[in-house]
Amino acid sequence: MLRQIRYFQAVVRLKSFTEAAEECCISQSAVSQQIRALEAELGVQLLLRHNRTFSLTPAGEVFYRKSAVLLADWERLRAETRRAGDVKERLRVGCLNSFGGHEFQLAVALFSARFPDVELAVSHGSHEDLYQALRSGEADVVMNDQRRAFSDEYVNRVLAERKCVVELAERNPLAALSRLSPADLKNTPCIVVASQAQRQSELEYQRDVVGFRGDFIFAASLGEARLMVLQDKGFLLAEEGELPAEYRTAVVQRPLLRGNNQFQRRYCAFWRTDNPNPHAPAFAEILQDQFIAADDKTI
């Protein structure tokens, strides 16, 4: 009956038998049959069918609300039981701590929903932190920017190429310019998100690859870096996109140019070719889908 309840919940939540069937990976007719079987088991009608639409009966309203609680309790019970029985599947994933998009968080949510029995261990770090975690076997799959030539030791799945911008306090005089180059920023400190151990390597990337030549100051997280921008302590290299709501009135984004072209960063999912964890490719595929969906929205 638990499977039937899941189908019923999906149909009501999505307001569609077709979408529920897609989410549950079965046919639409199978969903309809299972819900009719559930109604027969309960002895009441849950849905009123109206050609291609439906509505909940009073009994259906009660059952939808109460069965949601039942499923949540069941999931917690199952997880606790599996932990007590030492049944463990684990996937260790890492994300670049300077990445400002939502694709990684969405991938974590979708993976957890699709593989509820797999425990996700999530970490954040600089480029070098994540690279070393993969090399040492401390991470199964990471989302990182590409700074090295691809190696046959790893599966290298390209997720997206993102145009880069400079984030500045709106009151900074440079915010009046429609685009900026590293030369324009030579007298403004660059805020770099990096751990204590990786400050030097991140500084070298910003200086030698991106081309910034001024002073550098460091933040432990993207949130801390943006608070520094709000205070006009410096500028932050970020990806082109929508700023979080709390920054929009005081922070601006300006395209960063190198020569005549806007600077870009390539993001990839990496995992070792000899990693036996079967869930690493599945997570990478879900993550790639989120990048594709985000890019489609901007077209």
Residue 188: DSSP 8-state: S
* Contact (CB, 8 A) for 24 and 6: yes
Q: Does residue 161 register a pLDDT over 80?
A: yes
Q: Please provide the CATH number assigned to the domain covering 164-264.
A: 3.40.190.10
How confident is the model over 173-188, as a mean pLDDT?
A: 96
Closest CA to 63 of 39, 37, 32, 36: 39
CATH class of 2-84: mainly alpha
Is the pLDDT assigned to residue 298 strictly greater than 70? no
Is the pLDDT score of 87 beyond 60?
Answer: no
Q: Which residues contact 193 (CB under 8 A, 6 or more apart)?
A: 97, 98, 126, 202, 218, 219, 220, 221, 222, 224, 225, 236
The pLDDT value given to residue 83: 64
Residue with tokens 């609680």: 69
pLDDT of 257-287, one tens digit each?
988 899 999 999 999 998 889 999 999 999 9
At 116, which amino acid appears? P
Confidence of residue 53 (pLDDT cuts 50, 70, 90): confident
Confidence of residue 82 (pLDDT cuts 50, 70, 90): low
Phi, psi of 158, rounded to the nearest 5 degrees: -70, 125
Domain residue ranges in the chain: 2-84, 89-160+265-298, 164-264
Give the Cα separation of 280 and 277 in Å (integer): 6
Q: Hey, which residues does 160 pair with through a beta bridge?
A: 267
pLDDT at 39: 92
Burial class of residue 117 (count of CB atoms within 10 Å of its CB; 0-12, 13-18, 19+): exposed
Distance (Å, rounded) from C-alpha 162 to C-alpha 53? Answer: 41
Could you tell me the CA-to-CA distances from 157 to 2, 161, 218 in Å, in that order? 37, 12, 30
Q: What is the pLDDT of residue 240?
A: 87
- Domain 2-84 and domain 164-264, same fold? Reply is no
Q: What whole-number percentage of the chain has pLDDT above 90?
A: 60
Class of domain 89-160+265-298: alpha beta
Mean pLDDT along residues 51-71: 89
Express each pLDDT in 108-129 by its tens digit: 999 999 998 888 999 999 999 9
pLDDT at 195 over 90: no
pTM of the model: 0.67
Q: Look over the chain and give the mean of its residue pLDDT values, rounded to a whole number.
A: 90
Residue 292: pLDDT above 90? yes
